[in-house]
Structure 1
Amino acid sequence: MTEAKNRETADILILSNGPGELTTWVRPVVKALRQQLGKRDEVRISLVLSPCPNASGREVAIAQRYREIDRIQAAEHFFPFLLWGKTTENWDWRDHGVVVFLGGDQFFPVVIGKRLGYRTVIYGEWDTRWHRWIDRFGVMKPELIDRASPQYADKFTVVGDLMADTATVRNLPLPESILSQAPNPLSALKVDSSDASSTNNQLLKHSPETELIGMLPGSKAAKLAQGVPLALAIARHLHAARPQTRFVIPVAPTLELQTLARFADPQQNPVIHQLGNVSAELITSQGQPFLKTSDGLRIELYTDSPAYDLLTQCRLCLTTVGANTAELGSLAVPMIVLLPTQQLDAMRAWDGLPGLLANLPGVGSAFAKLINWLFLRKSRLLAWPNIWAGEAIVPELVGQLQPQQIADLALDLLTHPKKLEQMRDRLRQSRGTSGAASKLAALVIEELNQD
């Protein structure tokens, strides 16, 4: 059977789960697949989502932005598909295809691949399983090959870190929002009102004197409850010391603006009183949303996703832990990583048994406090760039954090540009070489062309 004939009758089924995997794994891989496959009608790409403790419920909306994907099934329909092979829309399947694992449980491609009669490819970041039943493994590091039995070594290929491809998959127009050239961050944003519903086409501009600071408080309620008040209070301290500084929150695609604003309201978020006591309200002017504090300070809200072109213009970002640290690291954007513990039960997105216990009704909060207390007792690196480098190249602040403490560290970095440049250089070095998505896509196509 020729390669062309194989492709004409082929399906690629991608299995994934959470928002982090969708943005840092699925997105670059489907782009690389389409680039290497050529004509769209040669291969159909389907995405099936599985349940994830980090899920927001808007994963389908995220995936629908990836035009390379032809069909998407939501996580709530996953188990009928796993158990009986039935999708909610009764998808048809071609005789020839590949199942690609990009998040979830590595057992899933074993079952689904056997049922469909498809070959299977797993991307392994930290571990690989089911070596006997999986056809190919594209792994992040050679160490994963050493851990496998030698009889399966020929199934492994080192492709690199998919997260390191974040910077190379940008190719996006710069945002339409225009930051005012006036150095006073309390002045109004000037937005082109001719197309207020879109924020895609104009350059984001600011004067050379303006410092743009990115705030990434998270996308889930557990993180936002602490992250939003902390960001507001830090912004107030920074603005008092450096009035040329402006602030922006790249809003996660899974997060509604009204939901974000609730965490800036002391009547709905009592944690505000523990973290600087700065509140804000949501305002939209000329189509541009922002949070406005009682003293008039604005924190702009940028809703296009991904916000890479915006983030690369930030002199510094303040971020919670998670996949966003990988994206910032891949973009070589200096950052301070924050993990406040005023609410010790806030972190519940653990894998396996800890995640199940932390999310149990009624007793989950107690389990979460215990699990997080045990976790925090042991010193470990939390930000992805630090994990990649094996050392703290970006600051990680953990504990009963206070806004003034963080603002002082940020001010030290802002007043010493060489420190920021050194951090940027270290981030470039730690992120590794790009190209993992292209290499993994090549593996998938090799399996696709197997008779």
Structure 2
Amino acid sequence: MLDEILLLTNGPGELSTWVPPVLSRLRREAPGARIELFLIRDQFAAGTEQTKAKALELDAISGRSELTRRLLRGKAKGRGLVLMLGGAPRDAVLLSRATGYPAFSYTFDAKAHHPGLRAVLVDSERTKSAMQARGVDPSRVVVVGNLVVDALNQASRQPTQPADVLLFAGSRPFAARYLLGFLLAAAEQMAKEKPQLRFAWVKSRLLPEAVVAEALQAHRVQDIGGVGASWEGTGLRTLHGLEVAVLDEPERYAAMRRASLAITIPGTNTLELALAGLPSLVLLPLHKPEMLPLEGLWHWLLSLPGARPFKQRFVRGLVSRIPHLALPNQWLNERVFPELRGVFSPTEVAVAGLELLVPQRAQEVRAKLRRLEAEPGADKLVAYVLANS
């Protein structure tokens, strides 16, 4: 029996979709183990992940400072394992070396491998083949399935407020501040063409209320066509009078099953939407590219004083070289979900959204999404790590 299980994660998407199904099964299969979650915040974090993690059945929630202390503590006396559910594999390997526990990592990313891992667990044969092409020993790559499918299956199917169009402004403050008012303006434009459409904003629990209030004022996006809104009961009323329902984050899966369209930004939720079979429009506005976080050293170098114009050019050049932004588009190597990137208006978003609502177009998208053929993975993942620790 294991004495301890150490989980690591870093992002809002992984905390919402990967951690809960794995944690529930670890509790069932290793009931006596102490389970600690390390939230390794980086430039992509929302900053409120710890508050959300408190709703999970954990024995301890820690951050990077606690991780550092654990690295210095020395070998653990009992049996345990380290499992990375989002983040840099090196952190899992460092923790493994410090504790003496074997380390495992789950990923969709063929680049996310480290020789210090006992095994890397992946969603599909596609990811395994991509890792093998990068020189990773295939015997150390184990296909377990897709944890997003588990999250969808585990979610409540209770009816929620009916909505035809779901608006996702992201779970990170920098995104919500700029995107919410922009999405509301696009919704107003769509409603002019189709007044019967019902809209809902799926509000992330990771957004601080101060950020929500700022986003609703829309001061930062008025110059690019965004509009503000005010609370009216439990919903919103936009500047020009459009009523928009507000859905709590746990309602999102039930809402996805009933909606006709989602408008969102790149991230894990594009895969959730794809697996739910919901046609979606993916946006990456570059009106203010200096606000986007970057991976690795570039983020910090281009955040230095005076680097703003360099970062703007760097981000625009980087985005232009990425074939697909949405995860389902990357996996299918086809622009199944339409993508708008660069400088565009709420009106252009509305036009693209209305095109996806045409029944024949929506049917085409749903048919292509069925090619994803993702299978649940939490049971296999937990069985593997417990059997090999």
Instruction: Report the TM-score, using the length of structure 2 for normalisation.
Output: 0.90
Letter in 2 for 1:371: F
The answer on whether the counterparts of 1:248 and 1:301 sit within 8 Å (CA) in structure 2 is yes
Q: What's 1:281 paired with?
A: 230
Letter in 1 for 2:73: G
- Map 1:23-422 onto structure 2 (within 5 A): 23-35=16-28, 37=29, 40=31, 42-67=32-57, 69-82=58-71, 84-85=72-73, 95-125=78-108, 126-131=110-115, 133-140=116-123, 141-144=127-130, 146-147=132-133, 152-170=137-155, 172=156, 174=158, 203-204=159-160, 206=162, 212-266=164-218, 269-276=219-226, 278-283=227-232, 285=233, 288=234, 290-305=235-250, 307-348=252-293, 350-360=294-304, 362-363=305-306, 365-414=308-357, 416-422=358-364
**What CA distance in whole angstroms lies between the structure 1 residues aligned with 2:340 and 2:135?**
40
SS in 1 for 2:329: helix
Change (3 A) 1:218 1:426: same
How many equivalent pairs are there? 385
For structure 1, the residue ranges without an aligned partner over 5 or more in a row are 1-5, 87-91, 175-202
**What CA distance in whole angstroms lies between the structure 1 residues aligned with 2:148 and 2:336?**
17
The answer on whether the counterparts of 1:12 and 1:98 sit within 8 Å (CA) in structure 2 is yes
**What CA distance in whole angstroms lies between the structure 2 residues aligned with 1:306 and 1:439?**
27
**What CA distance in whole angstroms lies between the structure 2 residues aligned with 1:332 and 1:358?**
38
**What CA distance in whole angstroms lies between the structure 2 residues aligned with 1:222 and 1:77?**
26
1:355-413 deviation digits (Å, cap 9, x = unpaired): 222434x2453343132122133251001110111110010011211122221222223
What is the CA RMSD across the aligned residues, in angstroms?
A: 2.4
SS in 1 for 2:151: helix
**What CA distance in whole angstroms lies between the structure 2 residues aligned with 1:98 and 1:216?**
35
**What CA distance in whole angstroms lies between the structure 2 residues aligned with 1:295 and 1:249?**
17
For structure 2, the residue ranges without an aligned partner over 5 or more in a row are none
1:305-327 deviation digits (Å, cap 9, x = unpaired): 36211222211011111222122
**What CA distance in whole angstroms lies between the structure 2 residues aligned with 1:379 and 1:109?**
28
Change (3 A) 1:291 1:76: farther
SS in 2 for 1:408: helix
1:165-199 deviation digits (Å, cap 9, x = unpaired): 432232x252xxxxxxxxxxxxxxxxxxxxxxxxx
SS in 1 for 2:246: strand
Larger Rg: 1
**What CA distance in whole angstroms lies between the structure 1 residues aligned with 2:243 and 2:208?**
18
The answer on whether the counterparts of 1:226 and 1:340 sit within 8 Å (CA) in structure 2 is no
SS in 2 for 1:345: helix
**What CA distance in whole angstroms lies between the structure 1 residues aligned with 2:236 and 2:320?**
35
SS in 1 for 2:216: coil
Q: 1:20 aligns with which of 3, 13, 23?
A: 13
1:120-157 deviation digits (Å, cap 9, x = unpaired): 212243224332x322221332225524768x543331
- What is the aligned-residue identity percentage? 27
**What CA distance in whole angstroms lies between the structure 2 residues aligned with 1:13 and 1:344?**
36
**What CA distance in whole angstroms lies between the structure 2 residues aligned with 1:114 and 1:392?**
42
**What CA distance in whole angstroms lies between the structure 2 residues aligned with 1:401 and 1:226?**
13
